[in-house]
Amino acid sequence: MANGILPFTMRLATGLCTAVLATAGLTTAFPGMDKTMSELQKRQGDLSKSLLGDLETLPDKDLTATGKAVRDILTGKAEGLDLSSQVKRVPPKTSSECAKDKCCIWKYVADEMRDAMVGTAGRCNNFARAAVRLGFHDAGTWARGNVPSGGGADGSIILAGECESRRSNDGLHEICDLVRTWHAKYKEYGVGVADLVQLSAVVGTVACPLGPRVRFFVGRRDSSEPAPEGLLPSPKADADKLIGLFANKTISAAGLVALLGSHTVSQQRFYDKGRALDPQDSTPGVWDNLYFKETLSSKAPPRLVKFASDVNLANDARTRPMFEAYGNSLKGQITWSQAYAREYVRLSLLGVYNINDMTECTRVLPNFMGSFDSVDKAKLDEFAAGELDSARVALMNGDVIPDL
Ligand code: HEM
Ligand SMILES: *[C@@H]1O[C@H](CO)[C@@H](O)[C@H](O)[C@H]1NC(C)=O
């Protein structure tokens, strides 16, 4: 399997927070991996399965290579992540060679995005986390059977000004402005807003240490029609409501928990304004699975702001097992990375009806960062314990927490 097997080894050393996630092609290189793989297979059974958009009606014989690839991801036959593909050579952006390759220009865009998304500590910053949320808030406005239809990954969050006009998008203004800047710079090369938004989300993910490299497809149609309202989740909602809301987007309870794990990098500003920039786990800017453990725990560090919705899901019988599984050290990190990637590919295609005509450009994405050393671990612990308020801004920027 070219993209799939995810043999990370992960060492969580006490004291120095070190996580090493090595990648290689062979299960045999990793004793115990077979057991892990069967565990993964079991968990994958809980993930979302249904087809989307044009793939729901197209007969198999009419599927393009992209159509087949996406079908296999959606139905659980292929991985949604790809840790290894690479661009071999990048022709100049104005060359005809670049114009002929649908992915070429996206390499330039992805590199520029990544540069904006990482700070001096190697952690991902506010643009990265906001981009991940932006991808969700554009795509997540689609629901099956919704009348009038519309919404989905169509760029309307930018093109219809939803970013500014809807309270649910508080916290996204800066990233929306940045996406507009990128669009102004690259539109002459045929770069669309819906694809830009989704690229920013997957670059934002892999820009965070340990963040999975989610497969990326281009060719979405842009729309400046406002998306239907009321289809994004409320952080006050109970588990029933949230599970139902995501079910209508074809996302299972397990899939929802996998996606929710992106709160691992979060530093909220509007949920509790008095505690702006306080994180949702004790390692903001690192894509580790501590979020699940700490959301479950009644003894989490006092610095954390937990959303009522997250706690409700962590306590519900349908979703609690996923919090436990994904939060469980190495196995959990692997299982979650795979689940997240498959579910994010799905999310990034909600409301898209030309999937069969899209193109996979995963190879333009930045490299997967499978290990991370926190050089300011002692200060980070102090911050988590409720001290050192001044660290908020450094963390926001992904920067090393300075000496006082
Ligand atoms: C039950 C569903 C969800 C609820 C209720 C929810 C709610 C929230 C809230 C209230 C915030 C804080 C915003 C702020 O105050 O600044 C937030 C942040 C965030 N959400 Fe969610 N969310 C949900 C699902 C998701 C999903 C599916 C994703 C992406 C796959 C996602 C990605 C993020 C990210 C990355 C942030 C951090 C943004 C930042 O720090 O700037 N969330 N979410
Ligand atoms: C899911 O969709 C159905 C049918 O459109 C609707 O009746 C129901 O209220 C939706 N559930 C949620 C939680 O939005």
In this prediction, residue 397 carries a pLDDT of: 98
Give the model confidence (pLDDT) of 228-265 as tens digits. Answer: 999 999 999 999 999 999 999 999 999 999 999 999 99
Ligand at minimal distance from the CA of 233 is: 1
**What one-letter code names the amino acid at 130?**
A
Judged by DSSP in three states, 404 sits in coil
In 211-279, alpha helices (H): 239-247, 253-260
- First-to-last C-alpha distance (Å) of the chain: 50
* H-run or E-run covering 198: helix 193-206
CA nearest to 219, candidates 2, 54, 50: 54
- Would you say 288 is a known binding-site residue? yes
In this prediction, residue 149 carries a pLDDT of: 79
Residue of the CA atom closest to atom 1 of ligand 2: 248
In this prediction, residue 147 carries a pLDDT of: 76
Handedness of CA 29, 31, 36, 37 (dihedral sign): positive
In this prediction, residue 279 carries a pLDDT of: 98
Q: Which one of 149, 246, 248, 350 would you pick to mutate in the ligand 2 pocket, going by the greatest count of ligand atoms within 8 A of its CB?
A: 248
Q: Is 155 left (phi over 0), alpha (psi -120 to 50) or beta?
A: left
Give the model confidence (pLDDT) of 283-309 as tens digits. Answer: 999 999 999 999 999 999 999 999 999
* Residue reference for tokens 């970013």: 163
Tell me the DSSP string of 55-104. Answer: GGTS-GGG--HHHHHHHHHHTTSS-SB-S---------TTSHHHHHSTTH
Give the model confidence (pLDDT) of 161-213 as tens digits. Answer: 999 999 999 999 999 999 999 999 999 999 999 999 999 999 999 999 999 99
Give how far the C-alpha of residue 47 lies from the chain's centroid of Cα atoms, to the nearest Å.
Answer: 16
Determine whether 183 is an active site residue. no
Decide whether any atom of ligand 1 lies within 6 Å of the 186 Cβ: no
Residue of the CA atom closest to atom 12 of ligand 1: 268
- Tens digit of each residue's pLDDT, the chain (404 residues): 233 333 343 333 222 223 334 333 323 333 444 455 555 555 556 888 999 999 999 999 999 999 999 999 999 999 999 999 999 999 999 999 999 999 999 999 999 999 999 999 999 999 999 999 999 999 999 999 887 779 999 999 999 999 999 999 999 999 999 999 999 999 999 999 999 999 999 999 999 999 999 999 999 999 999 999 999 999 999 999 999 999 999 999 999 999 999 999 999 999 999 999 999 999 999 999 999 999 999 999 999 999 999 999 999 999 999 999 999 999 999 999 999 999 999 999 999 999 999 999 999 999 999 999 999 999 999 999 999 999 999 999 999 999 97
Contact 185, 332 (CB under 8 A): no
In this prediction, residue 35 carries a pLDDT of: 52
- Would you say 283 is a known binding-site residue? yes
Cis peptide before 31 (omega within 30 of 0): no
How far is ligand 1, taken at its centre, from the CA of residue 190, in Å?
30
Judged by DSSP in three states, 156 sits in helix
Catalytic residue among 137, 183, 331, 346: 137
* Residue reference for tokens 């649910």: 168
- Would you say 96 is a known binding-site residue? no
Ligand at minimal distance from the CA of 307 is: 1
In this prediction, residue 303 carries a pLDDT of: 98
Q: Which residues, 6+ apart, have CB-to-CB distance to 240 below 8 Å?
A: 316
Residue of the CA atom closest to atom 2 of ligand 1: 233
| 396: DSSP letter | H
* Residue reference for tokens 């690229």: 199
Atom number, ligand 1, closest to the C-alpha of residue 234: 5
Give whole-number Cα distances, 293 to 37, 288, 325, 332, in Å: 22, 10, 10, 10
- For 216-247, letters b (16+ CB in 10 Å) and e give bbbbbbbbeebbbeebbbebebebeebbebbb
How far is ligand 2, taken at its centre, from the CA of residue 115, in Å?
40
How far is ligand 2, taken at its centre, from the CA of residue 100, in Å?
44
Ligand at minimal distance from the CA of 249 is: 2
Question: 217 has which bridge partners?
Answer: 360
